[in-house]
Chain A
Amino acid sequence: MSEFTLWDVVYNLLLAARWTVLLSLTAFVLGGLVGLLLLMVRTAGNPWVVRLVRGYVELFQGTPLLMQLFIVFFGLPLIGVDVSPWVAATLGLTLFTSAFLTEIWRGCVESIGKGQWEASASLGMNFTQQMRYIVLPQALRIAVPPTVGFSVQVVKGTAVASIIGFVELTKAGTMITNATYAPFTVYGCVAVMYFLICYPLSLFARHLEGKFRHVAR
C-alpha cells in the first residue's frame, strides 16, 4: 500500500478537473451555437425541417449519452476521421447539448405571443429581423434560468466521457483509486469537486428563476 496523502489525491484530481471544466465549456458553447441554429431553422416553419429537428431532439433525449459517445468514438474512424477521446467527447457532448438546448429554447420562443410576430411582420420585418430584434431578445430573458440549469447536466455529462478514455475528473478518480486502494476517500473527493462546480450553477439558476418570476409575463 503506497503512501499517499490526501493532498496528493486532491491535487491530482484538481489537475484533472481542469479538463472537466474545459470540456463542459466547449460543449456548452458549441452546443449552444448548434442549438441556436436548429432553433432558427425550426422556427422558420418548413414542416420537413420541423420534423427533422423534432426527430433529432427525440433521438438525443431518448438514448443514453454513453451510447451517443460510443457511436461517435467508434463511428468516426470508419469514415476515415482519426478520433481521440477528446474529439469524440467534445463532438458527442456538443450534439447532446445542442438537442436539449434547442428544445429548451423552443419552449421559450413559443411562449412569445403571436401578437409579437404579427406586429413585427406588419412593420415590414423579414423572418431574420423578427427573430433578431423582436423574438429572440424577449425569449432570451425567459431562457436564461433553464439554460443555466442545464449547464449542470453538461458538467455531469462529462463524467460519462471518462468511459471512452477521456481523462477528466472521474477517470482520474478511477486511476487514483487503483493506485491508492482508497475508493471511499477518492470518489468522495471526486463527488465533492463536482458538487463545488455544479452547486453554484444550480443556485444561480434558482436565483435567476426567482428574479424572472417577478417579471410580468
Chain B
Amino acid sequence: MAYKFDFGAIVPHWQLLFDGVILTTELTVIGAVVGVGFGIMGAWARASRAPVISQIVGVYVELIRNTPFLVQLFFIFFGLPALGVKLTEFQAAVLAMIVNLGAYSTEIIRAGILAIPQGQIEAAQSLAMNRVQIFRYVVILPALKKIWPALSSQIVIVMLGSSVCSQIAAEELTFGANYIQALNFRAFEVYFVVTGLYLVMSILLRMGLKVLGNFLFERRRHV
C-alpha cells in the first residue's frame, strides 16, 4: 500500500507554525544581540592584563565549544533548579542560546581584534588614548567588520540550533511541528514543511545580517 502524502492536513494548524516562527525569531534576536554583546565583553576579557580573567573566560569558551548545545540546555533547565535557579522554558532557551553564542562569538571577535594591525594601536596610544578608548574608537568596529561573515554564520547556526529547545517544551517552531504531527499523524509532511520554513528563515537571516553589516560599517560622510 503506497503512502498517500497529505500536506493539506497541516493547513488547519497554520497558527501553531506561525506562532512557532515568531518565537524562534524572538529567541534568535534576543540570543544574537545579547550573545554578541557577551562576545564583545568576552573578547575584551581575553585581552585583559589580569591573566585570571582571561583564563576564566578561556575555560568558559572551551566548555561551551566542546559540549553539545542540547546538553547545555538540559543543564540550564533541569540542572540549575538544584541551585535554586528556576527558569521558564523560554528563559532557559534564551539563556542557553546566549551562553552558547557568547562563547563562540568571544573567539570569533577575538580573532578580529587580533587582526587589527599593531601600528593602529600604537598610533592611538601615542595620541594619549587609554585602553578603553582605544578599544571603543579604534579596535572594535574594524574588528567586527572583519569577522562579520563568520559571526553571521554562527548566528544562523544558533538559530537552527534553537530547534532542540523543543525538548524542554519551549514553544518554538519544532515544538509546533511536534504538536501538529501528534494531532494529524502526518509526521513526514509536517517536518518536511517545517524544514522548508527553517530553510527560508536561515536564508532571510543571512541576508538580513548582510544588510545590517553594510549599515553598521558603511562609511558615512558627515562630520
Contact = CB atoms under 8 A, between A and B. Distances in A.
On whether A and B touch (CB less than 8 Å), the answer reads: yes
B71 A75 contact: no
Contacts of A66: 163-164, 166, 174
A170 B78 CA distance: 13
B65 A202 contact: yes
A74 B191 contact: yes
Interface stretch (B31-39, B47-55, B79-87): B79-87
Contacts of A187: 71, 74-75, 78-79
Q: Specify the main secondary structure of chain A where it touches its partner.
A: helix
Interface string A42-80: 000000000000000001001111111011001100110
Interface string B159-173: 011111011000000
Contacts of B72: 191
Interface residues of A, number: 38
A191 B75 contact: yes
Interface stretch (A27-35, A120-128, A155-163): A155-163
B181 to A, nearest CB: 8
A145 interface: no
B164 A188 contact: no
A184 B164 contact: no
A67 B68 contact: no
B126 interface: no
B195 interface: yes
A79 B188 CA distance: 11
B66 A199 contact: yes
A64 B174 contact: yes
B215 interface: no
Interface string A3-35: 000000000000000000000000000000000
Contact of A74 (B63, B66, B187): B187
Nearest to A174: B74
Contact of A152 (B66, B83, B156): B66
Nearest to A156: B68
Interface string A134-161: 0000000000000000001000111110
A130 interface: no
Contacts of A170: 68, 70-71, 74
Nearest to B79: A184
A183 interface: yes
A198 B199 contact: no
B194 A67 contact: yes
B62 interface: yes
A162 B202 CA distance: 24
Q: Which 3 A-B pairs have the closest CB atoms?
A: A159-B68, A64-B163, A183-B78
Given A160-B70, A183-B74, 20 more contacts: A63-B195, A64-B174, A66-B163, A66-B164, A67-B163, A67-B174, A67-B198, A68-B195, A70-B187, A71-B188, A71-B195, A78-B188, A159-B69, A170-B74, A177-B78, A184-B80, A184-B83, A188-B75, A194-B67, A195-B63
Interface of A: 59, 62-68, 70-71, 74-75, 78-79, 152, 156-160, 162-163, 170, 173-174, 177, 182-184, 187-188, 190-191, 194-195, 198-199, 202
Interface of B: 3, 62-63, 65-72, 74-75, 78-83, 156, 160-164, 166-167, 174, 177, 181, 187-188, 191-192, 194-195, 198-199, 202-203
